């Protein structure tokens, strides 16, 4: 479990005016009143930040040791996004606090099995806006969006954006892959 007393952020990523996703950084200390989690489920599916209108940055390549699994790197058309920062309250246990923040989507990685996307990995940096100009203010961070059941909806968002692809396959991909 993770502590709310550490600097913990969950970012709700939004294209200017429209909600897209939650982003998180895990704290490192256990506490009785924990805000820890490993994924966020949204039945209607998440909008992958920066995906709308994205172009191919590097062509589709086979993922070694996973026949039929391919990866493509995409460049977002509109990388400038706003984000609502959600964090545990330092003054009141059990309360979440929300504040707006700017981010810049650097790139998106799409993974598919025989042409059916099952995961998007989104890398971004935090930004500040000063006198109408955006400035990077943080290190790169990222999110993974999964289609856990093959429905075409990316209903699960995880914060394991550096996990190997083979460790991140949804069940339907694993079953299809073994065929």
Give the alpha-carbon dihedral of 37, 38, 43, 49, to 10 degrees: 110
pLDDT surpassing 80 at residue 108 = yes
Considering the domain boundaries, does residue 4 fall inside one?
A: no
The DSSP 8-state label assigned to residue 179 in this structure reads: -
Query: Considering the domain boundaries, does residue 3 fall inside one?
Result: no
**Total number of domains constituting the chain:** 1
- Domain annotation covers residue 142: yes
Percent residues over pLDDT 70 in the chain: 70
Structural domain includes residue 87 = yes
Average pLDDT taken over every residue of the chain? 76
Stated as kind and residue range, the H or E segment containing 171 is helix 171-177
- 54 domain-assigned: yes
For residue 37, the enclosing domain spans: 9-177
Look up the pTM and report it: 0.73
Task: Please indicate, yes or no, if residue 2 is contained in any of the structural domains.
Answer: no
Beta bridge partners of 127: 102, 136
pLDDT of residue 141: 83
| In a domain? residue 76 | yes
């Amino acid at each position: 479990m993770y502590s709310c007393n550490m600097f913990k952020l969950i970012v709700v990523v939004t294209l200017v005016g429209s909600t897209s996703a939650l982003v998180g950084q895990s704290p490192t200390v256990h506490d009785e009143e924990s805000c820890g989690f490993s994924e966020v489920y949204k039945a209607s599916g998440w909008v992958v930040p920066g995906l709308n209108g994205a172009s191919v940055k590097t062509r589709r390549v086979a993922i070694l040791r996973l026949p039929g699994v391919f990866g493509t790197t995409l460049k977002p058309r509109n990388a400038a996004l706003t984000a609502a920062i959600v964090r545990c309250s330092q003054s009141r246990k059990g309360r979440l606090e929300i504040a707006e923040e700017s981010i810049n989507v650097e790139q998106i990685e799409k993974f598919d099995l025989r042409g059916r996307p099952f995961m998007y990995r989104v890398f971004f940096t935090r930004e500040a806006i000063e006198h109408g100009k955006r400035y990077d203010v943080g290190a790169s961070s990222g999110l993974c969006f999964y289609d856990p059941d093959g429905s075409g909806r990316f209903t699960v968002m995880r914060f394991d954006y550096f996990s190997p692809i083979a460790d991140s396959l949804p069940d339907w991909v694993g079953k299809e892959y073994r065929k």
